[in-house]
A and B are shown apart, each in its own frame.
Chain A
Amino acid sequence: MDTKVTKKKLGLKEKYRFLTRDLGWEPSYHTKDEIFPYVNYEGIKVHDWDKWEDPFRLTMDAYWKYQAEKERKFYAIIDAHAQNNGHLNITDARYLSALKIFLQAISPGEYAAHKGFARAGREFPGVGTMVACQMQSIDEIRHAQTQIHAMSNYNKYYNGFHAFADQRDRIWYTSVARSFFDDSMSAGPFEFMIAIGFSFEYVLTNLLFVPFMSGAAYNGDMATVTFGFSAQSDEARHMTLGLECIKFMLEQDPANLPIVQGWIDKWFWRGFRVLGLVSTMMDYMLPKRVMSWREAWNIYGVENGSALFRDLARYGIRAPKGWDDAEKAIDHMSHQFMLGLYQWSFGTSFHSWIPCDEDMDWLSKKYPDTFDKYYRPRWDHIKKLAAAGTPFKNYGLAKLCQTCQLPVVFTEPDDPTMSCHREAEYKGEKYHFCSDGCQDIFANEPEKYIQAWLPMPQLFQEPNNGDLAAWMDWVSLKDGLDNGDYDGSQDQQNFQQWRGMATSNQ
């Protein structure tokens, strides 16, 4: 017969110790180097792993409870969204282009981050680090899933959502986000933490999620607002993990400083290039706009970023090398991108359009020094071509940057009328770049970036050999439905017709 034992409830501190720090052990029949083979080759010196602090002190049991609660709320709202014809409550179906880009390019990035943190959790020897990485890994796969579920309702009614996974791998504009994550996942665990945990989560995530989620709210998209909230509550933990990692490295050994600074320079610039898509979304794709990209940059980039780097200055860290070039690009990048997306819209699984007069007036107000001077004349001409029945399509395809993989739509930092031409030779092959930032990244590790799978040159190789129609099949792009100008698209017609049925007696 069992004797009844009075169970003592564990205090929070004890629980944290048992469920995290005490999970580690000293290996007896393998060396630490054998168990953690990837922790030294990047050159980061660590003397005491126990110095890694976890300010959240979250244990797995509490984590499950919080997350389960969020999931219940999330799916209740997603159900309500589907049952209440949420797909008709958005401001305008143009808004969906932003969502399609997000689903094709960013949600797979969440999945990649999940894989990356699972690996980092295995490769770091410190127990506090392992547990924090595992939780973030589960967060990231949850984000990917909730995003896909939230947007699946739109897939029932609109084009361009149906093949995001193929398009993540094969279409051209997604390769900027994909290569960002592939680059980080093929680096060592410390660089991965700087890439995702610090640069992306800490320096740049506000510029991605805050404008995107408020954009969703402004445009009546409850499904996206909901996954935004559900994910955003994890971000505080993610940002802390990233900042903790950087402080830990810098405090462990002074020799770590130049390595860490190099990674900050690199990953700031790579992240900044990914944000190009966000700038276009904010300035052009939201029918009802929250703020301009310039305004968002001033708040989240200049103010928050400068404060962060002031804080890190005591460790010897300076602002990223590309910081000034980034500032010079802010008033140009969204316009340069949108011009590209419009002229290559035959190859995009979302719609773009010529901004209407009202939109152009808004743009000149928000970009008083650049829009009227450089970009309005181009849009006016494109409008004329469309009116003449010869809409502008650039079938020339584009030169891509070997590092960030974007079409080289960018201009010289000090001359917005001159396309930025940068090239380098490595082992007898020529490589091209969009900027000094991307060329520097290549020059530091050429053997990595020569392997880049650049979608446009690939179109001319096996299996498509330059056949555009075959390429469309291969990327699961339905010509005439998923791509092209919003004006006259099936998405536009359906939205107007269904909305008309919902709001009138026609």
Chain B
Amino acid sequence: MALTSIREYIGVPRDLQANFNGKQLVYVSWDHHLLFAAPFLFCVPPQMSFKELVDGPLAALTQPDPDAASVDWAKVEWLKSNQPWTPDFAASLSENGIGHKDQIRFRTPGLNSLRAAA
């Protein structure tokens, strides 16, 4: 049962893509870099290229981390919905298969200035 109710009840999701004026939500997080308290939420057009997302808002927001300057975006390992995945930087978000409310993660092995001393 999808809901304990007195009769059949159909809920309406509040965050449908149609509510975002042509944009979509994308969540991005940097593994093991918890200076940033939670994954970032971006509200961007699906036509935006992956490169624009990375060079624009993502690079700007990750800048306060001491590792930010050393990130080589060509060598970053990516995950989408927690599965390994390779983006096409030149292609748009939708061409990359990044849907509304998708979670992207990236890993930068070797870069861990603020990570716990083991």
| Cβ–Cβ contact B21 & A451, under 8 A | no
Q: Does A80 contact B (CB under 8 A)?
A: no
| Cβ–Cβ contact A447 & B3, under 8 A | yes
As a 0/1 sequence over residues 422 to 462 of chain A, the CB contacts with chain B under 8 angstroms (1 = contact) are 01000001111000000000000111101111101110111
Specify which of A191, A432, A447, A450 is in contact with B103 (CB 8 Å cutoff).
A432
As a 0/1 sequence over residues 94 to 105 of chain B, the CB contacts with chain A under 8 angstroms (1 = contact) are 000001111101
How many angstroms from the CA of A219 to the CA of B24 in the assembled complex? 46
Q: Which of B32, B35, B57, B105 has the most CB of A within 10 A?
A: B35
Specify which of A37, A432, A466 is in contact with B6 (CB 8 Å cutoff).
A37
Stretch in A156-164, A300-308, A335-343 with 4+ CB within 8 Å of B: A335-343
Closest-by-CB residue of A relative to B12 is A451
Q: Does A18 contact B (CB under 8 A)?
A: no
Specify which of A409, A432, A450, A451 is in contact with B27 (CB 8 Å cutoff).
A432
Stretch in A61-69, A198-206, A225-233, A372-380 with 4+ CB within 8 Å of B: A372-380
Q: Does A41 contact B (CB under 8 A)?
A: yes
Task: Tally chain A residues at the interface, Cβ within 8 Å.
Answer: 60
Q: Does A59 contact B (CB under 8 A)?
A: no
Closest-by-CB residue of B relative to A417 is B32
Q: Does B111 contact A (CB under 8 A)?
A: no
Q: Does B13 contact A (CB under 8 A)?
A: yes
How many angstroms from the CA of A462 to the CA of B18 in the assembled complex? 11
| Cβ–Cβ contact A38 & B27, under 8 A | no
How many angstroms from the CA of A421 to the CA of B81 in the assembled complex? 9
| Cβ–Cβ contact B14 & A339, under 8 A | no
How many angstroms from the CA of A455 to the CA of B2 in the assembled complex? 24
B56 cross-chain contacts in A, Cβ below 8 A: none
| Cβ–Cβ contact B2 & A447, under 8 A | yes
A392 cross-chain contacts in B, Cβ below 8 A: 35, 64
**Residues 1-24 of B at the A interface (beta carbon under 8 Å):** 1-6, 9-16, 19-21, 23
A399 cross-chain contacts in B, Cβ below 8 A: 27, 29, 38-41, 103
Q: Does B43 contact A (CB under 8 A)?
A: yes
| Cβ–Cβ contact B3 & A448, under 8 A | yes
| Cβ–Cβ contact B25 & A457, under 8 A | yes
Binding site for B on A (CB under 8 A): 37-38, 41-43, 187-188, 191, 336, 339-340, 343-344, 373-374, 377-378, 381-382, 385, 390, 392, 394-400, 407-409, 411, 416-419, 421, 423, 429-432, 445-448, 450-454, 456-458, 460-462, 465-466
A-B contact pairs, 23 of them (CB 8 A): A41-B4, A191-B4, A336-B34, A336-B37, A343-B36, A377-B114, A378-B35, A394-B37, A396-B41, A398-B38, A399-B41, A408-B38, A409-B38, A421-B39, A423-B82, A446-B11, A447-B2, A447-B3, A454-B14, A457-B25, A460-B23, A460-B43, A461-B19
